[in-house]
Amino acid sequence: MKPISSSVLIPFVIAPLFSFLWATSAHTHEDFLQCLALHAGNSTSSISQVIYTPFNSSYSSVLKFSIRNPRFSTPATPKPLVIITPLHVSQIQATIKCSQKHGMQIRVRSGGHDFEGLSYVSYVPFVIIDLINLRSINVDVENGTAWVEAGATIGEVYYRIAEKSRNFGFPAGVCPTVGVGGHFSGGGYGTMLRKYGLAADNIVDAQMIDVKGRILDRESMGEDLFWAIRGGGGASFGVIVAWKIKLVHVPSTVTVFTVNRNLEQNATKLVHRWQYVADKLDEDLFIRVILSAANSSQEGGRTIQASFKSLYLGGMDNLLSLMQESFPELGLVREDCTEMSWIESTLYLAGFPSGESLDVLLSRTLLTRPTFFKVKSDYVMEPIPEVGLEGIWERFYHKEAEEAELLLIPYGGRMSEISESAIPFPHRVGNIYKIQHSVFWEEEGIAASERHVNWIRRLYSYMAAYVSKSPRAAYINYRDLDIGTNSKEGNTSYRRASTWGTKYFKSNFNRLVHVKTMVDPTNFFRNEQSIPALSSW
């Protein structure tokens, strides 16, 4: 079974090409689009199916459809000269060739969830390859695998697996609209990471297009490049067009629960205790904590709410027994728990209301209206003392933190068994949990953005005493340009890139640079946090 359709190549006819250019005399557009017409193959369809320029009425809606953070969708935000929504890999090959020829950068967008907008924003002339049309999923139940095109979403993957078998699942993320192109290439974690590791730990093949326009699979790209794209960020090395994933077994019944506790209900001590047990629980049990400010029972007062949200790969009786043995302080009771199928649990953990149809997993629309946000990440290797937690609570009482939250993601289990160098993602044994720091706001304007971003930066500074050090580790899929960026000129030194690279990849950064230098020596595939190429190693 081939991951990409081998049907007749989509046409690029010269005549309809110029209908896109009636309102412009910009030679860059003309030359680039003529180049595409020459190199993308023969045609039976209109070019309007795959190319959008600022002079096309659909351009704005196509651009904005997958922008998940309005911070990067303002009038001042740089816009692409062209958006390509390829229907076939030949159109990606042509875009790579013509972008090199005409001096334009490429941004590749799968689901549009890059937290710093790097999949659809650049400050030099650029083209977006939007993979929204490359989203087929072919599930092979007999062999326990699936080929997934890079434009598919996590929700679509879950739905198509469950459509074929309720005995299989996949250990990817919670948000169903996230695209697999970026999610898998950055590692990708979800509620089964303690049982099965990351999404990238369960990738067995891939198909990508390199800087020379070649279509490569695992065998033809070699093990070094295959290693690099599974957790090292695929956009540094080429355009990922499909993944072959290994499905994982899930039981017929799983159990979920959500238990909310505030400060008046001993939340501080519960969170403190959670740190000592979360990574040591049975690997079938995942309990994350969501911390946020909330209204207290006292009029006009504020408190901190800790929401303990869990997936257990098994029945309720076993879960209650495990919790009584390992974390009795939480006070979990039968009434807190609900048994369901694994596929139903993906809706529950994504925040959908009870009774929601599984078809919602096929929607590419966010559950709520996009809001402005900024995210940072940390890893915790020693439990934060209660006094440290209380310092966090104090900062959550600030006005800017009204819609802020910390997500505490437990590690241990399978995550501690996999070597730090197995794939570029290095955050394995020794990590108790990961923190996602998030702040959200509705108010528009630069001043509002600065206030909220400065708040989370101050919180991040406060957290330095309690998190990993040398380096202070971070997660590539929680993109954060505050930790360092490449030179805007395009040629970035190893030393400069290592300021952020070692935080994401630790010692694996060296190997990533080596691979990059071999496969993209001119550093064509680049962005503010792409792996740099060196002229010599």
Catalytic residues: 478
Q: Which residue has the tokens 């092979």?
A: 140
3-class secondary-structure state, position 112: coil
Residue 39 tokens read as 């190199």
For residue 357, give every residue at least 6 positions away whose Cβ sits within 8 Å of its Cβ, in sequence order, or none.
none
The DSSP bridge pattern shows strands 248-249 and 372-380 to be unpaired
Distance CA 317, CA 205 (A): 39
Q: Which residue has the tokens 């009029």?
A: 299
Return the sign of the alpha-carbon dihedral for residues 82, 232, 504, 350. Answer: positive
Q: Hey, what amino acid is at 315?
A: G
User: In terms of C-beta distances under 8 Å and separation of at least 24 residues, what long-range contacts does 453-461 make, across chains too?
Assistant: 453/374, 454/400, 455/395, 455/398, 455/400, 455/401, 455/404, 456/374, 456/376, 456/404, 457/376, 457/482, 458/395, 459/392, 459/395, 459/404, 460/376, 460/378
> First and final CA of the chain: distance in angstroms?
39
Where is 108: in which H helix or E strand? strand 105-109
Distance CA 101, CA 221 (A): 24
Where is 245: in which H helix or E strand? strand 239-246
